[in-house]
Structure 1
Amino acid sequence: MEQQQTNSSGGVAEADEKLEKIQLAIQQFKMIKGALIPVLHEIQDIYGYLPEPVLKVVSTELNLPMSEIYGVASFYHFFSLTPKGEHVIHVCMGTACYIKGAQTVLDRLSTELNVAVQGTTEDNKFTLEATRCLGACGLAPVMTIGEKVHGRLVPNNVPKILNEYK
């Protein structure tokens, strides 16, 4: 029982520390026009996504309606309102990649990871996303996992590539 209390208070301390960092960011940018975007970036850096309870704090502190905050957060692709996995996989579905078989690669990833496209695995290890263009048409079909680019893919490449990240 005592072990649970230690872990629980450790979690609370970590949450408080994160919220303190958010409060500092809000104070740093509060007087600047357009403060919302840098504050959202700070939240995304700290949490990995934009949790609703933290956005409510931002709403109160910056005196902005939640609708405006959600409008900005959902407009920019680099903000996420849901948690992402440790490794984010982007599969290019642009014309060149699509023509060269990106859909079959995406389907194989979905099967291997047992997750829907735009979803995160149960263990929070991977998030699978389809994107429009990764700018590597010469390597079509292509995907990125984090910053690493994997090109000239065929579905049978998928298990080996995923093993690098497990």
Structure 2
Amino acid sequence: MSSPKGGPAGGGAPKTATTFGEDTVAEARELISRYPQSRSALLPLLHLVQSVEGYVSQEGMTFCAEQLGLSEAEVAAVATFYTMYKRRPCGEHLVSVCTNTLCAAMGGDAIYKRLQQHLGSESAPLGHEDVAGTPGESGSVMLEHAECLAACDLAPVLQVNYEYFDNQTEDSAVELVDALRRGDKPHPTRGAPLSDFKTVERRLAGLLPEDDDEFWTDVDGPSQAVETMRGAQLAADRNWTAPAAPADVPLPEVEAK
């Protein structure tokens, strides 16, 4: 049995101590302290685990269970539900190609197929969540097809470590992954500068570099695209306004249960 604030209730050494050292335990407890109920910290802790291992291993799920006083089954139910938690070691970079309806129609399917063959071969294309190179090492890339990345106005899009690269073509996508494999970090179309998967996982966990002014300047900077704001700009230029809602409109009757 585990205590709610972390560590085995009996006081013995946790069985995950070999992978997750004292620094990681301290960070986990700091994250847990932000929540009124410790189990609410499970999602950040899973990101913390990925920042250490590059994926969520069985040992990583055990670590989360130990810290939160949950069963491993409770942790596994969450870790296997969300696609952001990888069950196999990720590359230095995660390349996510949107293959939802609009991106697919605009070329996303073709981009994904081209990258599969480019990172693998025509006869043995790289599969979903497979890695080109050795996972975790410099230049390694995990490829995945993703559902809607919420950038339909800039389709087709892909992300590298969750940063956007908009208006892609097959050739530009190939150039991008080749640059990643060389060790380069091309600047995303918008948003923060590119980093590696493990660094992004620390940020998603909520462990942000408070004293890094450059980081905060990049993060706080504008990331909207001209295409995204076009409708609002047209409305402002032409003085269009939405009609006001009628006042005192009665709510419809609802049958009592």
Normalising by structure 1, report the TM-score: 0.76
Matched, 1:143 2:158: yes
User: How far did residue 110 of structure 1 move?
Assistant: 0.4
Q: Deviations over 1:112-132 (max 9, x none)?
A: 111212211232310111111
Flag the 1:17–1:51 CA change in 2: closer, same or farther, 3 A.
closer
Q: What SS does the aligned partner of 2:88 have?
A: coil
| Counterpart in the other structure of 1:4 | none
1:26: Cα distance to partner?
Answer: 4.3
Aligned match for 1:112, one of 113, 118, 124: 118
- Other-structure match for 1:8: none
Range moving further from structure 2, 16-25 or 42-51: 16-25
Over alpha carbons, which structure has the higher Rg? 2
Q: State which of 77, 90, 93 in structure 2 corresponds to 1:71.
A: 77
Alignment counterpart, residue 102 of structure 1, candidates 91, 101, 108? 108
Count of aligned pairs between the two proteins? 151
> Could you tell me whether the CA contact under 8 Å between 1:22 and 1:39 is conserved in 2?
no
Specify every segment of 5 or more residues in structure 1 that has no aligned partner in the other structure, as ranges: 1-14
Q: Work out the percentage of aligned pairs sharing the same amino acid.
A: 26
- Is contact 2:97–2:158 with CA below 8 Å preserved after alignment? yes
Cα distance in 1 for residues equivalent to 2:64 and 2:160:
31
User: Take 1:64 and 1:150, find their aligned partners in 2: how far apart are those partners?
Assistant: 40
Aligned to 2:176: 161
Q: What is the distance in 2 between the residues matched to 1:37 and 1:138?
A: 30
Q: Give the deviation of 1:16 after TM superposition.
A: 4.8
Structure having the larger proportion of residues in helix: 1
TM-score (normalised: structure 2):
0.51
Deviations 1:72-101 (CA, angstroms, capped at 9, x unpaired): 112233322222111111111121111122
Moved more, 122-131 or 50-59: 50-59
RMSD: 2.5
The aligned runs of 1:6-155 (5 Å cut-off) are 16=18, 18-28=20-30, 29=32, 32-33=36-37, 34-114=40-120, 115-124=126-135, 125-146=140-161, 147-153=163-169, 155=170
Contact in 1 for aligned 2:157/2:164 (Cα 8 Å): no
Given the superposition, is the C-alpha separation of residues 100 and 64 from structure 1 closer, same or farther in structure 2, using an over 3 Å criterion?
same
The answer as to whether partners of 2:46 and 2:60 remain within 8 angstroms in 1 is: no
